[in-house]
Structure 1
Amino acid sequence: MAQIETRAHGDIIELRLARGPVNALDPTLCTALRDALAAAVRSGAHGIALTGGPSVFSAGLDVPYLMSLGEDRGALMHAWEAFFGAARALVASPVPIAAGIAGHAPAGGCVLALCCDYRVMARSPDAAKPFRIGLNETQVGLVAPEGIQRLLRRVVGPHRAERLLVGGLMPTTDEAFAIGLVDEVAFVDDTAARAIEWARSLSMLPRHPVLETRSIARADAVDALHPRHIELERFVEAWYLPDTQAALRAVLERLGKPR
């Protein structure tokens, strides 16, 4: 079964994350996303909608898979390279991308959303269990690389980004909208349609001015994910620190996964 479902809506292409149950990002899914983006652009897409869910847009990196790699630093490096490859493909897309977030988007899921031009997020149908989005890395023993922090700062501002990053906070949909982390709130069943409509609205404008203006405006986002701002080797080494491993094992216990 394809891990990315591609649907054409005229000249807007929807790419739906389809790795059940929670679209956890392993190398296969990340590579499939990068390839699907390239194929959409080659097909002449004027815009892209990246969707996922319901309930979970993407739960972020596949922690059980990553922990199963043990001391194999090469395999761990490959997994993270695949993730950042997908993120770079999103942020450097030559056409606008809107994220339709029909559920939770923690950690890597939030990164994918931040790499898009526009974010439509669903409000949970259960007010007692609101959907949340954010970079909760510190809560699971990780440090978000400088480049990822730059992506958040450009969207919500430096002081608010600091508060969110240091605490590993996960705002609700309404809180995220209030601080500009998401651009629009919709019903769960409408998030994809709203993302598609936003991309279509840009496609109706004069194409060259839109794409040139966008390229200038997003140069800082593209630069944020340059390898010098990620320092992947340093990040992978930190993965094996005792407190990080302890926090990650606690995540596996909460998920009911064997260590």
Structure 2
Amino acid sequence: MLAEKYNDITAQVHDHVAEIEIHGAPNNHVSVDLIRDLADAFEAADADPHVRAIVLCSEGKVFCGGADLVRRDGILSGRSTSVNPLYVEAVRLFSCATPVVAAVQGAAIGAGLGLAMVADFRVAAPEARFAANFVKLGFHPGFGLTHTLPRVIGLQRANLMFQTGRRLKGDEALAIGLVDELVPLGELRARAHALAAEIAVNAPLAVVDTRATLRAGLAAAVKAATDHELAVQAELMKTEDFAEGVKAVQERRPGNFTGK
């Protein structure tokens, strides 16, 4: 059964919809512990016969600001560069059998965008911002985004986001299919629940099997993508450009990159 509390994650079930909420304001940063707890909650939702859909949401003004660049435990964790515990937990999220609707109220940046891509559908407010800003850090995309982002918006649009690091507003994300619905901020959570309820009212076995067909091989593809992403990230973390990129982002200025 789905528990109520998983450290910084809470869960509640109403009318076959589980609301799973991240409590890490103000930035709701990604960390190994957070994603592990989130994966635990997702797996419990899968095992709960009362749950037919999930609303993934977070407290505060930011959906997920990505990795904490000060602690860095959301970028590369552990002593081995062949296994990143964060990506192990991310694959668990993509292995979830229950449909997921994400409610995105603010920034979904870097790994935060990767987290938003776990969901089947994204409902966002106009204030939402989406970016794969890794190149601005002198870094390589991660969290499986090199597979999941092109899968949703197409290779060309994903390539543009990756190579420019540009930040998309809610309406721009809607226009390219990154967001499925755009609603006023005050209506965001309710609309995400309404979409989840629209899914949950249907025959649950048919929904799960249809979803499984459309997402066939997704978790394995994310595993392959994160394996490659990690190898490149490990090399780029040794560069002067990465050190400059982290410093530049922290100081809110463009990076002065040298290609070293």
TM-score, length of structure 1 as denominator length: 0.85
The separation in 1 between residues aligned to 2:78 and 2:34, in whole angstroms, is 18
User: What is the CA distance between 1:185 and its match in structure 2?
Assistant: 0.7
Give 5+ residue unaligned stretches, structure 2: 254-260
Task: Measure how far apart 1:20 and its partner are.
Answer: 2.0
Structure 2: distance between partners of 1:95 and 1:116:
10
Structure 1 residues 42 and 102: CA distance shift in structure 2, 3 A? same
Report Cα offsets for 1:164-201 as digits up to 9, x if no partner. 11111211000000110010111223222222221221
- 1:17 aligned residue: 22
TM-score when normalising by structure 2: 0.85
Secondary structure in 2 matching 1:161: helix
Query: Which residue of structure 2 aligns with residue 128 of structure 1?
Result: none
Q: Residue type matched to 1:133 in 2?
A: F
Within 2, Cα distance between the matches of 1:25 and 1:148? 15
Q: 2:182 aligns with which of 180, 185, 202?
A: 185
Aligned position for 2:65? 59
Show the counterpart of 1:219. 216
Change in Cα spacing, 1:153 to 1:57, as seen in structure 2 (3 Å) is same
**Alignment match of 2:99 (pick from 91, 96, 99):** 96
Cα deviation, residue 92, structure 1: 1.7
Q: CA deviation at 1:95?
A: 0.8
1:108 to 108, 111, 114: 111
CA distance in 2, matches of 1:48, 1:86: 18
Separation (CA, whole Å) in 1 of partners of 2:31 and 2:166: 24
Deviations 1:99-134, CA, capped at 9 Å, x for gaps:
01111111111101111100001122xxxxxx3112
Q: CA deviation at 1:68?
A: 11
Change (3 A) 1:146 1:230: farther
Per the alignment, residue 74 of structure 1 pairs with 78
The letter for the 2-side match of 1:149 is T
Q: What SS does the corresponding residue of 2:29 show, helix, strand or coil?
A: coil
110-119 or 216-225: bigger deviation: 216-225
Look up the SS of the partner of 1:112 in the other structure.
helix
Q: Whole-Å Cα distance in 2 between the matches of residues 90 and 67 of structure 1? A: 18
Q: Give the CA RMSD over aligned residues.
A: 2.6
1:235 is aligned, of 233, 236, 241, to 233
1:245 matched to 2:243: yes
- For 2:121, the equivalent position in structure 1 comes to 118
Aligned sequence identity (%):
28
| 1:222 Cα deviation after fit | 2.4
How far apart are residue 73 of structure 1 and its match? 6.7
Where does residue 127 of structure 1 map in the other structure?
A: none
Whole-angstrom CA distance in 2 between matches of 1:249 and 1:43: 44
**Secondary structure of 2:167's match?**
coil
Corresponding position of 1:143: 140
Are the aligned partners of 1:90 and 1:97 in contact in 2 as well (CA < 8 Å)?
A: no
Q: Is the 8 A contact 1:47 1:199 kept in 2?
A: yes
Structure 1 equivalent of residue 256 of structure 2: none
1: distance between equivalents of 2:116 and 2:143? 17
Asked whether the equivalents of residues 87 and 143 of structure 2 are also in contact (C-alpha less than 8 Å), the reply is no
Give the deviation of 1:147 after TM superposition: 3.9
C-alpha contact (below 8 Å) 1:6/1:16 kept by paired residues? yes
Matches of 2:90 and 2:78, distance apart in 1 = 20
Instruction: Report the Cα distance in structure 2 between the residues aligned to 1:171 and 1:210, rounded to whole angstroms.
Output: 31
For residues 233 and 138 of structure 1, what CA distance do their matches in structure 2 show? 16
Query: Residue 236 of structure 2 aligns to which amino acid in structure 1?
Result: A
C-alpha distance in 2 between matches for 1:224 and 1:135: 19
Displacement of 1:145 in angstroms is 4.6
**Deviation readout 1:41-73 (Å, 9 max, x if unpaired):** 22232111100143200001111111899xx97
Paired with 1:67 and 1:34, the residues of 2 have a C-alpha distance of 17
SS in 2 for 1:38: helix
Q: How many residues align?
A: 246
Shift of 1:76: 8.0
